[in-house]
Amino acid sequence: MQDQAVSLTMLDAYIAQKHKRLTFPRELEVQYDQRMDSYRRQVMARGLMPTVSVYNAFLVADFLLLPQTAITATILHLAVVTPVIFLAAFLYPRTSNTLLREVFRSFVPFMMVAQIMYIYAQNAGIGADQYQYLAVMTVIYMNINLRFSFNLAIASTLLLMMTYLAVLLPGHSPVEVKFTGTCMMGAAAYLTLMANRRMEQDVRFGFLRRLQDQLRREAAEKVSKHDAMTGLANRRMLDEVVARLWAEGARDHTLAAVVMIDVDHFKPFNDRYGHAAGDECLVRVAGLIADELKSPQDLAFRFGGEEFLLLLPGTDMGDAVRIAERLRVAIENVAIPHEDLVPRGVVTASFGVTAGPVSAHSFAELLSAADAALYAAKGNGRNQVWPPLNKHRDAGADMKDQAAIAARPAR
């Protein structure tokens, strides 16, 4: 799903519901997973050394409580579980399968509990009875520090509890130790799962608020860079695009075409049909212009009044003239009534085209040449593209010819 599939209106309505669900509609859930994936990678990376350090620090408990198996515990810590932790941290960011990544994460606390309960089972007495409580600490660490999603936390917690109880209940400890251990594990599981759930709710709500702020900023920026009536980009956006294109394209001699468009005799149209009809006419023409853009890098702008501008990066003169001609025909064929124009009595437009490498010509030069070509189109009877398709040559020569136009009829 693309980011734009989530609209600000949809998001505002969803937040207003004030529910405490741990899942979003599909569009939001995909975005949330994408953003949380990066965060979880950071948690794994940042928590690697603290996890290894704290886990191995508990070897002190082995030497104090169960010295007879301290060597075995050290081997399990340093030669088995610690390498598993490093392996999980290494594989997690390099695995694209979401389920497999979660298995890597949950395998770390499972190995810790398995190691604790193995050492417990190899011993007897009060030291072993106290040692097995370390498994409870692992559950607390997992649900609070590893920041599993709530569903994964439930599954992992159940797995750890079953592993713990499967060894404790048939084991050598007296019944009061088994009862206390079961109660402590159950209480730790419940309390930490509720804390995990609350943390995920807060994270999800924070995500919604940040996304809402982002969409509001984007909406405000779009309004500031687009013409409110036609929806086309405005002069502010044009300035930004030109600055970027000329900075990037000057290095590799990128071509750029500029097409100036003027709705023919628009003032008489406004006078005859009214300003509301005039606005509607411009909106329809703008829609036709936008529909003509085939490449994502091509942009259309409302240049002012009834004038529009096309900026076509990577387009030579011949292609630009053909685009302009297709658009001229489309505007004429949509047949917006304009009885003052003969012979067809419909709205038409005139086009001025130029093109050239951005390394050789500034945007101002291309714009001036396109404007001169537009004057020529209007001076030669309007409803046409200048230069005509069968007259254009290379872009540099076209610019010189257009700039040298002697007669500049009034608009």
Contact between residue 402 and residue 373 where contact means Cβ atoms under 8 Å apart: yes
Whether pLDDT at 4 is above 90: no
pLDDT at residue number 391 = 58
Contact between residue 164 and residue 186 where contact means Cβ atoms under 8 Å apart: no
Whether pLDDT at 234 is above 60: yes
**Domain parsing of the chain, residue ranges:** 3-217, 235-403
Could you report the per-residue pLDDT of 235-246, keeping only the tens digit for each?
888 998 999 888
pLDDT at residue number 407 = 38
Q: How crowded is residue 281: how many other Cβ atoms within 10 Å of its Cβ? A: 21
Residue pointed to by tokens 């509890």: 161
pLDDT at residue number 182 = 96
Whether pLDDT at 21 is above 80: no
Could you report the per-residue pLDDT of 52-92, keeping only the tens digit for each?
999 999 999 999 999 999 999 999 999 999 999 999 888 88
How close are the terminal C-alpha atoms of the chain, in Å?
Answer: 48
Contact between residue 349 and residue 262 where contact means Cβ atoms under 8 Å apart: yes
Query: Mean pLDDT over residues 11-16, rounded?
Result: 80
DSSP 319-375: HHHHHHHHHHHHHHHT--B-TTSTTT-B--EEEEEEEEETTTS-HHHHHHHHHHHHH
Alpha carbons 170 and 162: distance in angstroms, whole number: 12
Which is more confidently placed, 320 or 221?
320
Among 94-98, 376-380, 395-399, the range with the most confident prediction by mean pLDDT is: 376-380
Identify the CATH number of the domain defined by range 235-403. 3.30.70.270
DSSP 287-322: HHHHHH--STT-EEEEEETTEEEEEEET--HHHHHH
Query: Mean pLDDT over residues 257-278, rounded?
Result: 93
Lowest mean pLDDT among 154-158, 230-234, 358-362, 407-411: 407-411
Q: Please state the separation of Cα 213 from the chain's center in Å.
A: 14
**CA distances for 388 relative to 48, 99, 224, 272, 324, angstroms:** 68, 61, 36, 31, 10
* Phi, psi for 357 (deg, rounded to 5): -70, 135
